[in-house]
Amino acid sequence: MQKITSICEKMGVQSDECIPFGFYKAKIDLKMMKRLEQKKDGKLVLVTAINPTPAGEGKTTISIGLAQGLKEIGKHPVLALREPSLGPVFGLKGGATGGGLSSVVPIDDINLHFTGDLHAITAANNLLSALIDNHIYQGNELKIKRVTWKRAMDMNDRALRSIETPSRKDGFIITAASEIMAILALALDLDDLRTRINKILIGYNEDNDPVFVKDLGGADALVLLLKEAINPNLVQTIDGVPTLIHAGPFANIAHGCNSVVATKMALKLGDYTVTEAGFGADLGMQKFLDLKVPYLPKAPDAVVIVTTIRALKSHGKAEDFNKEDIKAMKLGLPLLEKHIENIKNFGMNYIIALNHFYNDSSEEIKVLLDWANERNYPISLCKGFSEGGLGMVDLASKIVEITNKESHLVHTYDEADLPRVKIEKIAKKIYGAKDVAFSDRALRQLDKYEELGWNLPICMAKTPLSISGSSKLVGLPKNFTLEINDIKPSMGAGFLVALTKGIMTMPGLNKTPRALEMKLDENGNLID
């Protein structure tokens, strides 16, 4: 690893803008953006994927590899990725630093406490909970009758989904799903952060009128906890590509993108910014384009959709995705084609990135490449895991060509559409649903929000494992109905969260979590 001060110097960050956290991590002061505000933005490349499977897709690995490939062909890329959450790190998913020769470092630091951002978000979230409960205890001047704000913790702990304190019933959500996380990821500066926090809905009073943080007070105290966390974090790939890792809202619950400020910073510092959106294109990509782009404001110049032969076989219901099974692979292709159709409907230029695994057969690779070429789908065979940047030169070269083509973003819905119409358009256009069924509770909520004039964008919360609302429906299901059970306002983030049936905002650990398998060497380093 190069010293982080050296990385800063090479990418044009001045010494008073670089805040080192040891030798290999740093925060970049947002004041840098003022200095570079007149500098032209570089190209923006968004990496997405088909719906995830147990076989793995390697979206982050491809993102890192693409940046390495761009460096190999003489470009100056900057990566902009999300921060890992401790819950998935110790659970099923694992870390979020790539893999093999396409990794960002220092791996354990990034995956664990990093620079303390998630701890700051958790503290700010729970300070607000404490202020609410204390206000009620001290006389409840605001006449709060129902509290909607929940506590947060950065760990998968299903036992905390519902709790009961001496004063009321409550519950925890995972920090990555909290509105504070979403706000930090969207805020443009400290003033915007304060404005958004003041807009947070904390509950309703005895007249069923909404109560906000601005009514309670304390916004500046929350900003105080977050004033360092809003500065993006800088690390590097194993071959020295600058990497901004900042904010990590879950894509199946929140909007699933790294921070606006980190992406804007990367666009000023590099000629190519490579960023990713969480989970599949139905969740992360749609939210990136409809919820994040308005704050950049720049749409991607190209979209990379990641797939693997293993994942296609998994969506084709293969009994063993590690064995050659061309029939199952072909059965998984309609899902990839649907995501391609969605990208085209957004008006975006794209390329398929086939993430190579060591046990992919040459015949499977040939069949997939032929399938794409016959349909004029641009595709690249990617070997970043095993070869680093050298294995990504083909994708990088094609991305340079694609980003020179014009694109024009077409949003999923119109800004003036009512919330229920926006939900229906997402379900039908993006997921391919036949219909949308709203619970009685959701319908009452929609009526209330329309009455209050809360005509906000929609952030869908659903399973990432299927393009539908059911994790059991793999591949490309037909004639399904999307069930909406709940609509929660995230007024500070600026959207309404529509929760599909069965979605959880506090995940649980799987039967054999990674935490039970972790081993350390004598120096306290994690052994792979």
Q: Which segments are annotated as binding site for ATP?
A: 53-60
Give the up-direction half-sphere exposure of residue 251: CA atoms within 13 A in the CB hemisphere.
28
- My answer on whether omega of the bond before 242 falls inside 30° of 0, hence cis, is no
Tell me the two tokens of residue 219.
């916004």
User: How far is Cα 316 from Cα 333, in angstroms, rounded to an integer?
Assistant: 8
The values of phi and psi at residue 346, to 5°, are -75, -10
Cα–Cα nearest to 144, from 134, 153, 152: 134
The helix or strand, by DSSP H or E, that contains position 80, with its residue range, turns out to be: strand 77-81
The values of phi and psi at residue 20, to 5°, are -65, 140
Tell me the two tokens of residue 331.
């059965």
* Binding-site residue ranges: 53-60
The rounded Cα 288 to chain-centroid distance in angstroms is: 8
8 Å CB contact between 480 and 64 = no
Q: What is the DSSP-derived secondary structure letter of residue 116?
A: S
Q: What residues contact 183, with CB distance under 8 A and at least 6 apart?
A: 193, 196, 197, 200, 492, 493
8 Å CB contact between 158 and 506 = yes
The total number of residues shown for the chain amounts to 528
8 Å CB contact between 335 and 51 = yes
DSSP letter string over 4-57?
HHHHHHHHT--GGGEEESSSS-EEE-THHHHHTTTSPP-EEEEEEESPP-TT--
8 Å CB contact between 466 and 482 = no
**CA distances, 189 to each of 29, 30, 31, 275 (Å):** 11, 8, 9, 20
8 Å CB contact between 75 and 403 = no
DSSP letter string over 402-424?
HTTS------SS-TTS-HHHHHH
User: How far is Cα 272 from Cα 399, in angstroms, rounded to an integer?
Assistant: 10
